[in-house]
Amino acid sequence: MIMGLRIAIYGFGEIGRLIARVALSRGHEIIGAVDINPEIIGRDVGKILGLGDLGVKVTRDVEEAVKECDVALHATGSYLPKIYDQITSVVMLGKPVISTCETLAYPYYRYPILARKLDELARTHGSTILGSGINPGFLLDTLVIVASATVPIIKKIRAKRCLDASRRRDSFRRKIGLGLEPSEVAEGLRSGKYSGHVGYAESVCLIADAAGINLSRVEEGQEPVIADQDVKAGSMIIGRGRVKGVKGYGAGYVNGVERIRVEFEAVAGAQEYEEIVIEGEEYSIAWRSSGTPGDLGTASVILSLAERVDRMPYGLLTMVDIIPFGIRFVGAAKL
């Protein structure tokens, strides 16, 4: 294990700051921070965190922030085309980068050309790139794969995460349209104005990759959940008929048969849990948790990976590349 890492944070918003706090609590050092927010440029990282002066200022200059680090932890956006240049700016300095970007968790599905370019660039510059987090990256894919390793032949996998949207940060509430008119949110989900959850297909593809199967079709979709009565969401009241959350799914098919399904619900007042059901030919298993705090869980996953990055090969990786398990679906030899 690498201890006492010198870490640079790329993106010093809510998640970046949380990652920094977790890093410091685990005995690491923050030696750089990159952001474009003019309100924090030039400010000391420690003072922003309420920890006193750490002698490290937030900068726009990637090289200044990253050049002396052991690893860069990236948290700025969900879609690879929008953060591609940010990732390459770190890679070209020969530094490994672990990112919370959801579509980087399995970029070969949506952005195969960008993925190939990133892999080539990372190998050329002696860098490692890995996209992960709590979801996608762990709960609905990595954890599913690990749990599935105990089932000899799998017929179907279903995994679901449900969380109380009223307990999440304001930026998350905004991206699911909490409290708005259903028609506005439904149209916003279609147009991209509201992202809802990003990563359904990525989780499905990670599981399929671990199983070595080619999916004939991948589906995903999400829709607003409408309140049938007034709901309290933190300091706000969501009126009847307004949006109290979102729900969605991703599904992977082989020869017209659904083999993998992941579901996600973020609804104000909902019971929090994760559930994994693995249906096997000989037996089935089910696992259920009491819920995982998403933001803190993301920071913990990212730091746990950073502490092992020196053992990872160069190139663009996914979680499947570092999981020591493969899984097998029924009829896999024929797929």
Looking at per-residue pLDDT, the higher value among 333 and 217 belongs to: 217
Does this model's pTM top 0.85?
yes
- 3-state DSSP: the chain helix, strand, coil percent, rounded to 5? 35, 25, 40
Q: In the predicted model, what is the mean pLDDT of the chain?
A: 93
Same domain for 310 and 233: no
Q: Is residue 233 part of a domain?
A: yes
Q: Give 34's strand partners.
A: 10, 59
pLDDT digit string (tens) for 40-75?
Answer: 999 999 999 999 899 999 999 999 999 999 999 999
What tokens were used for 10?
A: 């790329």
Same domain for 164 and 279: yes
List phi, psi (to 5°) of 43.
Answer: -85, 150
Mean pLDDT of 258-287: 96
- State the pLDDT at residue 232: 75
Same domain for 161 and 190: yes
Residue 255, domain extent? 142-292+325-334
The total number of structural domains in the chain stands at 2
Same domain for 330 and 193: yes
pLDDT category of residue 306 using cuts at 50, 70 and 90:
very high
Q: What is the CATH number of the domain that holds 316?
A: 3.40.50.720
Mean pLDDT of 294-322: 96
Mean pLDDT of 5-13: 97
- State the pLDDT at residue 263: 98
- State the pLDDT at residue 1: 43
pLDDT digit string (tens) for 144-158?
Answer: 999 999 999 999 999
Same domain for 284 and 170: yes
- State the pLDDT at residue 165: 87
Mean pLDDT of 191-203: 91
Q: Which of 126-130, 229-233, 293-297 is most confident?
A: 126-130
Residue 114 pLDDT exceeds 60: yes
Same domain for 158 and 74: no
Same domain for 288 and 218: yes
Same domain for 251 and 197: yes
pLDDT category of residue 203 using cuts at 50, 70 and 90:
very high
- State the pLDDT at residue 175: 86
Same domain for 242 and 147: yes
Looking at per-residue pLDDT, the higher value among 323 and 168 belongs to: 323
- Contact between residue 98 and residue 308 where contact means Cβ atoms under 8 Å apart: no
Q: Taking Cα atoms as reference points, which of 327, 311, 69 lies closest to residue 213?
A: 327
* 3-class secondary-structure state, position 265: strand
Residue 288 pLDDT exceeds 50: yes
Amino acid identity for residue 182 in this structure: P
List phi, psi (to 5°) of 194.
Answer: -115, 125
Residue 3 pLDDT exceeds 80: no
pLDDT digit string (tens) for 232-244?
Answer: 776 778 888 899 9
Residue 164 pLDDT exceeds 80: yes
- State the pLDDT at residue 333: 52
Residue 334 pLDDT exceeds 50: no
- State the pLDDT at residue 34: 97
- State the pLDDT at residue 134: 95
- State the pLDDT at residue 248: 96
Residue 173 pLDDT exceeds 70: yes
Alpha-helix residue ranges (DSSP H) falling in the chain: 14-25, 45-48, 62-66, 80-91, 107-110, 112-125, 142-148, 170-175, 182-191, 200-211, 294-306
Same domain for 173 and 288: yes
- Contact between residue 107 and residue 131 where contact means Cβ atoms under 8 Å apart: yes
* 3-class secondary-structure state, position 258: strand
Q: Is residue 96 part of a domain?
A: yes
Q: Is residue 1 part of a domain?
A: no
Same domain for 215 and 121: no
Q: Is residue 269 part of a domain?
A: yes
Per the listing, tokens 């030919």 go with 281
Same domain for 87 and 197: no
